[in-house]
Amino acid sequence: MTQTVIVDTHAHLDGDEYEADRDAVIDRAAAAGIVAIVSAGQDEATSRANLDLEARHPSVRPSAGVHPHLAAKAGAMRWLAGLARDPRVVAIGECGLDYHYDFSPRDVQRDVFARQLELAAEVSLPVIIHCRESEDDLIAALRAGYSRERRAVVHCFTGTYDFGRALVDEFDVYLGIGGAVTFKKAEALHDAVRRLPLDRLVLETDCPYMTPTPHRGKRNEPSYILLTCARVAELRDLTAEAVAQATTANASRLFPKLRR
């Protein structure tokens, strides 16, 4: 029997939450069949911390970017232009718009996101997009600064089928499905995951956040992605192995640098 192979397309392994046992967390991920973990930068310090992790753990693959929460502190982002050209960096992000918390003014969020879309195009890297309660402005930003020939993922997708369909049809993006799909009450998301095209879905944990059932309330970690995979399989009436295979193939189309 071949071992299941899975990619965690969105994690934050640089976080303090893993200070005490990061090696054990990464070992458990490997034992669970997770061959690559995209660990997303949120500012300069976390982007560089993920690069340092890659040096010690080859399954950790860094992205570099500025999270919308931190957009107000982004400045000229010269460091990001530098990291974007580092061969180890697999994507630009996470970047995007978060109108739920509004930790940065919305016009600044839009500007910092637009600049990262532009940079990603310049260096031909995929984009990791964060979108919370900002659906209309996300579509506007993509219309203005993104073309469907490129690659992007809207991570932690928790929208409706119609929003997912609109994103896939107009921009051909991937949708990151995480722990929220295991929540009993997430009926609109269940419907979306059932019906959206399987070749546009990727799996993620967004750990240490978004912990799947039955571990809700505790710290999330990459090995828990198996719970998300199993729930997606159940919703689509497929085996977990089939979902793992499909989403892993999707992840390597989304992030070409994962194939090394």
**Of residues 40 and 83, the one with the C-beta less far from Zn ion:** 40
Among 22, 110, 130, 231, binds Zn ion (CB under 5 A): 130
For residue 59, the minimal CB distance to Zn ion (Å) is: 18
3-state secondary structure of 162: helix
- Residue 238 CB, shortest distance to Zn ion, in Å, is 27
CB closer to Zn ion, 4 vs 141? 141
Q: At what angle do helices 187-195 and 161-171 cross, to 10 degrees?
A: 40
Sheet holding 34-39, edge to edge: 6-11, 34-39, 60-62
How many Å apart are CA 204 and CA 37, to the nearest integer? 9
- 64 residue type, one letter: A
For Zn ion, what does the binding mask look like between residues 77 and 116, x meaning CB under 5 A?
Answer: ----------------------------------------
- Is the C-alpha dihedral spanning 50, 51, 52, 53 positive or negative? positive
Size of the site for Zn ion (CB under 5 A): 2
**Phi, psi dihedral angles at 237 (to 5 degrees):** 60, 45
Site string for Zn ion, 30-69 (x = CB under 5 A): ----------x-----------------------------
- Which residues contact Zn ion by CB under 5 A? 40, 130
